[in-house]
Amino acid sequence: MPKRALCSYGIDIDAVSGWINTRDGKLANPTDVSRGVFGATVGIDRLLKLWDKYNIKTTWFTPAHSAESFPGQIRKIVDKGHEIGLHGYTHEFVSVLSEQQQRDVLERSIKVLTDITGKRPRGWTAPAWSTSRETIKLLEEFGIEYDHSFMHHDSQPYYVPDASLSTHVETDVSKPASHWMSPMSTLKPSSVVEIPANWHLDDWPPFQLSLSQPSTHGFVDTAVIERLWKEQFEYHYRECPDGGSFVFPISIHPQVSGKPQVLLLHERLIEWINGHEGVEWVTMEQIVDEFKNGKLSGVSIEGGVDF
Q: What is the per-residue pLDDT across 126-169, written as a single tens digit (0 to 9) for each?
A: 999 999 999 999 999 999 999 999 999 999 999 999 999 999 99
Max CA separation in the chain (angstroms): 61
Nearest-5° angle of CA 91, CA 92, CA 98?
A: 155
Distance of alpha carbon 278 from alpha carbon 248, whole angstroms: 13
What pLDDT, in 10s, does the model give residues 172-221?
999 999 999 999 999 999 999 999 999 999 999 999 988 777 788 989 99
Range 150-178 burial, b when 16+ CB lie within 10 A, else e:
bebbbbbbbbbbbbbeeeeeeeeeeeeee
Per-residue pLDDT, 195 = 98
CATH number at residue 22: 3.20.20.370
**What share of the chain has pLDDT > 70, as a percent?**
100
Per-residue pLDDT, 87 = 98
Mean pLDDT of the chain: 97
Cα–chain-centroid distance for residue 79?
A: 22
What domain range is 57 assigned to? 4-171+178-293
155: CB partners within 8 A, 6+ apart: 196, 236, 246, 247, 248
Rounded to two decimals, the pTM is 0.96
CA-CA distances (angstroms) from residue 145 to 42, 108, 139, 195, 250?
A: 31, 17, 8, 11, 20
Residue 306 is assigned to a structural domain of this protein:
no
Per-residue pLDDT, 95 = 95
Residue 303 is assigned to a structural domain of this protein:
no
Per-residue pLDDT, 66 = 98
Residue 107 is assigned to a structural domain of this protein:
yes
Q: Is the pLDDT of residue 90 over 80?
A: yes
Per-residue pLDDT, 215 = 81
Residue 237 is assigned to a structural domain of this protein:
yes
If you count DSSP H runs as helices and E runs as strands, how many of each does the chain have, helices first?
Answer: 12, 9
Per-residue pLDDT, 15 = 98
Q: How many separate domains does the chain show?
A: 1
Per-residue pLDDT, 75 = 98
Q: Is the pLDDT of residue 283 over 90?
A: yes
Average pLDDT rounded to a whole number, residues 39-61: 98
Q: 157 phi and psi, to 5 degrees?
A: -75, 155
Residue 34 is assigned to a structural domain of this protein:
yes
Residue 135 is assigned to a structural domain of this protein:
yes
pLDDT band at 34, cuts 50/70/90?
very high
Residue 304 is assigned to a structural domain of this protein:
no
Per-residue pLDDT, 78 = 98
pLDDT band at 83, cuts 50/70/90?
very high
Per-residue pLDDT, 151 = 98
Nearest-5° angle of CA 227, CA 233, CA 234?
A: 80
Residue 154 is assigned to a structural domain of this protein:
yes
Distance of alpha carbon 10 from alpha carbon 254, whole angstroms: 11
Per-residue pLDDT, 211 = 78
Per-residue pLDDT, 213 = 77
Q: What is the 3-state secondary structure (H, E, C) of 75-118?
A: HHHHHCCCEEEECCCCCCCHHHCCHHHHHHHHHHHHHHHHHHHC
Per-residue pLDDT, 281 = 98
